[in-house]
Amino acid sequence: MDDVRELPAAGPVRLWLVTTDPASTPPGDGAGVLDAEESRRAAAFRFDRHRVRYVAAHLALRGILGERLGRAPEDVRFTRLACPGCGGPHGRPALADAPGPHFSLSHSGDLALVALAPVPVGADVEELPSVKVAEDLTAVLHPRERAELAALAGPEERRLAVARAWVRKEAFLKGLGTGLSRGTDRDYVGVRAGSPGAPDGWSLRDVPMPEGYTAAVALGPEA
């Protein structure tokens, strides 16, 4: 997979960066490899470039997991765990017929990030927001994070700090299995570079990304 590159490990987490740029991604709809739910989601995209990015990310995830499990990508089977917040069948994705590894997939713009770990894991990659979007997101952060942002010098520094906090939150909430339904003002993750906070039992790491992107990975306790 020429468009998939393994990154330096973040502790026990293995990470891969996937290029999903439609201009450099081979054409195809994933037929015969993606399952019915993935195919349904791919077909629902209004714009071809979004569909191509989605398919490329999910094919990469299947290839990485298939290599780990010793099976073809199309033979990797997924399920959803129960949501820890409400008990509904929309929690963290998991392998349907294998005990591990735990995994997480995130995609934004022309990049996707895949994480594999021996314990619950969440990954998030995002394109950097505009100053306006960053200002809007500030209102839904934890009170301590808003205070930290208010102490920063200018809008550009705050923009980068908000992006940093947001991917940390998304990574944690994905690893937890609730998604954004838990709320983004409930858990403190911090905004400063190199020193993420972490909810009890979890660890957070910032992941270096190409210019214009930011990413983080969250590692949970033993399942």
Mean pLDDT score, 16-43: 85
| Per-residue pLDDT at 116 | 98
Kindly report the average pLDDT of the chain as a whole number: 92
| Per-residue pLDDT at 90 | 84
Tens of pLDDT, residues 32-80: 899 999 999 999 999 999 999 999 999 999 999 999 999 999 999 999 9
DSSP calls for 56-83 = HHHHHHHHHHHHHHTS-GGG--EEEPPP
DSSP calls for 104-173 = EEEEETTEEEEEEESS-EEEEEEEPPPHHHHHHHHTTS-HHHHHHHHTSSSHHHHHHHHHHHHHHHHHHH
Please check whether residue 98 is in contact with residue 4, taking contact to mean a CB–CB distance below 8 angstroms: no
| Per-residue pLDDT at 153 | 85
| Per-residue pLDDT at 195 | 74
Tens of pLDDT, residues 82-103: 888 888 888 899 999 999 999 9
pLDDT higher than threshold 80 for residue 23: no
pLDDT higher than threshold 60 for residue 170: yes
- Dist CA 19 CA 22 (whole Å): 9
Three-state SS at 50: helix
pLDDT higher than threshold 80 for residue 158: yes
Handedness of CA 107, 111, 116, 119 (dihedral sign): negative
Sheet holding 203-207, edge to edge: 121-127, 213-219, 203-207
Please check whether residue 122 is in contact with residue 33, taking contact to mean a CB–CB distance below 8 angstroms: no
Q: Quickly count: other Cβ atoms within 10 Å of residue 91's Cβ.
A: 19
pLDDT higher than threshold 90 for residue 185: yes
Q: Quickly count: other Cβ atoms within 10 Å of residue 162's Cβ.
A: 26
Tens of pLDDT, residues 105-147: 999 999 999 999 999 999 999 999 999 999 999 999 999 999 9
- Dist CA 187 CA 19 (whole Å): 31
| Per-residue pLDDT at 25 | 65
| Per-residue pLDDT at 26 | 64
Domains of the chain: 4-219 (3.90.470.20)
Look at residues 185, 194, 196 and name the one whose alpha carbon lies nearest to residue 218.
Answer: 196
Mean pLDDT score, 205-212: 96
